[in-house]
C-alpha cells in the first residue's frame, strides 16, 4: 500500500573485490544488508525484520548469496552483526495483491489501446494484443510492465536477481496467454511462498519487489 505498508531497504555494510561468476572476472562488490520497515507515507517508522545479506557485483549488478561467492574469512555473518539473521537474501517475492493490482493496471492500459482500435475487426487479434503487450513489456522494460513499474515490481530468475532469458520470457508469456482463458488458475500463486503462478513455474521465474535505496 502507498500510504501505509512495509518497505524493504538496504544498507551497504562492506565493500571489496571478488570473482564474479557472471562476469568471469575480478570485480568490486557491495555487501548489502536488507531490513524491512513499516512505513507511513514512505517514512520508515518501525523496523520489523532483518531479511538477510546480499552481495552485488559492481559491474553486472547481479546479486549473489554472499556465502557462495566469498570465503569464510571474507564473509561470516556472525562477525558482521550481533543478531543472527538468515544470509541468503536477494529479493522478496511480491504479494498476490500487488500482482493483481499490476495486472488490472495493465488490462486497463490494453483496453485503452483496444478501444482506440475498436473500429477494426479484432477477433483473435484481441488475444494477440495482450500477448504482444506483455511479452513486449517483459523484453523492453526488462521484466516489467506499466503496472509492475507503477507498483515497483519486476520479473526475475527464480534463484537470482537477474532478468530471465528471452526464451524463458517467451515461454512465460505463452503459458500466461493460455492461462488467460481460465483466469482462476492464477490463484495458484496463493499456494506457494514464492507467489509463483503457473506461468512463473513453467519459466522458473518469480516476481519480486524492486529493492529500496542503497546507501
Q: How far is the CB of 206 from Zn ion (least distance, A)?
A: 21
> Closest Cα to residue 154, out of 97, 102, 87?
102
Q: Is 138 exposed, middle or buried (0-12, 13-18, 19+ CB in 10 A)?
A: buried
Q: How far is the CB of 162 from Zn ion (least distance, A)?
A: 10
Indicate which single residue of 23, 108, 113, 117 sits in contact with Zn ion (rule: CB under 5 A). 23
Cell readout for 72 is 569464510
162 lines the binding site for Zn ion (CB under 5 A): no
Q: Is 57 exposed, middle or buried (0-12, 13-18, 19+ CB in 10 A)?
A: buried
Other C-beta atoms lying within 10 Å of the C-beta of residue 16: 12
59 lines the binding site for Zn ion (CB under 5 A): yes
Q: How far is the CB of 157 from Zn ion (least distance, A)?
A: 15
163 lines the binding site for Zn ion (CB under 5 A): no
Cell readout for 47 is 523496523
Q: How many angstroms from the chain centroid is the CA of residue 71? A: 27
Q: SS in 3 state form for 79-113?
A: HHCCCCCCCCCCCCECCHHHHHHHHHHHHHHHHHH
Indicate which single residue of 20, 87, 110, 137 sits in contact with Zn ion (rule: CB under 5 A). 20
Considering the complex, state which of residue 57 and residue 110 has its C-beta at the smaller distance from Zn ion.
57
Considering the complex, state which of residue 22 and residue 92 has its C-beta at the smaller distance from Zn ion.
22
CA distance 45 to 35: 12
CA distance 85 to 90: 13
22 lines the binding site for Zn ion (CB under 5 A): yes
Q: How far is the CB of 64 from Zn ion (least distance, A)?
A: 9
CA distance 184 to 10: 36
Q: How far is the CB of 27 from Zn ion (least distance, A)?
A: 5
17 lines the binding site for Zn ion (CB under 5 A): no
Considering the complex, state which of residue 60 and residue 187 has its C-beta at the smaller distance from Zn ion.
60
60 lines the binding site for Zn ion (CB under 5 A): yes
160 lines the binding site for Zn ion (CB under 5 A): no
195 lines the binding site for Zn ion (CB under 5 A): no
57 lines the binding site for Zn ion (CB under 5 A): yes
117 lines the binding site for Zn ion (CB under 5 A): no
CA distance 141 to 87: 30
Residues that bind Zn ion (CB under 5 A): 20, 22-23, 27, 57, 59-60
Amino acid at each position: 500500500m502507498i500510504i501505509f505498508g512495509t518497505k524493504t531497504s538496504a544498507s551497504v555494510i562492506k565493500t571489496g573485490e571478488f570473482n564474479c561468476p557472471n562476469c568471469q572476472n575480478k570485480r568490486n562488490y557491495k555487501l548489502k544488508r536488507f531490513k524491512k520497515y513499516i512505513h507511513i507515507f514512505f517514512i520508515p517508522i518501525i523496523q520489523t525484520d532483518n531479511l538477510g545479506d546480499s552481495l552485488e557485483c559492481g559491474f553486472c549488478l547481479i546479486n549473489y548469496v554472499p556465502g557462495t561467492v566469498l570465503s569464510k574469512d571474507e564473509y561470516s555473518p556472525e562477525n558482521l552483526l550481533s543478531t543472527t539473521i538468515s544470509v541468503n537474501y536477494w529479493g522478496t517475492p511480491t504479494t498476490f495483491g500487488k500482482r493483481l493490482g499490476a495486472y488490472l493496471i495493465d488490462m486497463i492500459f490494453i483496453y485503452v489501446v483496444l478501444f482506440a482500435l475498436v473500429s477494426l475487426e479484432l477477433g483473435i487479434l484481441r488475444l494477440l494484443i495482450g500477448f504482444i503487450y506483455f511479452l513486449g513489456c517483459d523484453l523492453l522494460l526488462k521484466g516489467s510492465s506499466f503496472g509492475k513499474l507503477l507498483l515497483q515490481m519486476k520479473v526475475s530468475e527464480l534463484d537470482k536477481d537477474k532478468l530471465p532469458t528471452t526464451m524463458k520470457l517467451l515461454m512465460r508469456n505463452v503459458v500466461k496467454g493460455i492461462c488467460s482463458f481460465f483466469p482462476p488458475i492464477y490463484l495458484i500463486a496463493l499456494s506457494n511462498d514464492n507467489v509463483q503462478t503457473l506461468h512463473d513455474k513453467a519459466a522458473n521465474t518469480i516476481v519480486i519487489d524492486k529493492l529500496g535505496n542503497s546507501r
